[in-house]
Structure 1
Amino acid sequence: MTSPGDVLDAARARGVMIATAESCTGGLIAAALTEIPGSSDVLDRGFVTYSNAAKQQMLGIHSETLTAHGAVSEQIAAEMAMGALSRSEASLTVAVTGIAGPGRSEHKPEGRVCFGVATAFGVTTETVEFGAIGRSDVRAATVSHALALLLKALNG
C-alpha cells in the first residue's frame, strides 16, 4: 500500500508540486497528504468539487461532457485533472469522481470510481469497480488508489 509519505518524498525528489481534484472523496486525498508535516512544500492545493456546478465553476468542466457522459466518467475525471492542472501551480494532478454509496445511479453501480492523472504531457484515466463495500470503504480505497497513481506517475 502506498503511503502519503512515499508520494511526498517522491514529489520532493523530483521538484514536483501536486494538486487534487476530488468529488466522491470530499478532500480526503489532500487530507491524507497534509497529515504529513512539511507537505506544503509539494502540495499546492485541493479542489473539492462535489456538485456538477462546482466542477464547472472551479475546474472548467464542460456541460456537454456532463450531459454526454455523466459526472462519474473517465471523460469528467480527465477534465477535472486537466482543470486542476491549469488552475494551480502544480505539475501533477489527480482527480476522482465516483459513486461511494449507498445506492447507485440508473446506469452506474455503487463503488465505481473514475480516476484522472494529468501532467504537462497529457492525462491518463481509468475506472475501478470497488463494489458495494460501503461508503467509507469505497472512499478509503479511492484515496489509496489515488496515492498509488500519484506515486506511479512520479516514478514514471
Structure 2
Amino acid sequence: MKKILLLYIVFLAVGVAKAQEKDISSIENWSTPDGIFDNIFDSDGNSVKITNILAGKTYVVNAVPTTSTLLCTSGIFELYFEAGCGMENTGNSLHNQRRAVLCQAFQDMSDFINTPLKNAGNTTKVKIWIRNQTNTTIATVDKAIASS
C-alpha cells in the first residue's frame, strides 16, 4: 500500500510540475510550430521574421506604415501591389496596362500548373507581393528580386 501511495504522490508531483510550465508558443506568438520556420534568411544570410513579409499586411518601412492591395486574382495566384510599385494606381492607364500584362502572365502560369489549389471549394491561393523597389535592399541597376 505504501508503494502505491508513494507512486501516486510521484505522479501527482510530476503532473503539477508540468502543469505549471509556461506555454512559450503562446507568449512568443509563433506562426509555425515551436517557431521553427518563423525566421527566414535571404541570399545574403540576413534573418527576416516571416510575419514581416506577409502579402496584404501592414508593415513599416523607414518608420512609415505601408500596405499592399489585392488588385488581381489570376487562377491560383493573388497579386498584391505595394504603393509606388508602378502598377497600383487603378486610375492610371499605364499602371492598368502593366498590371493586365502581369495578371495575364500569372493566369497563363496557373493554367499550366496541375495543383489541388484548383479543386472546387478550395479558397487557398499563392500570394505574390509586387514591391516598390525603393522599399527593398536591391541595387538600382537590378530590375527584380525573387525569393523561394
Which TM-score band applies after superposition, normalised by the shorter structure?
under 0.3
Q: Which has the higher helix share?
A: 1
Task: Select the structure with the greater relative contact order (CA < 8 A; seq sep ≥ 6).
Answer: 1
Larger Rg computed on CA atoms: 2
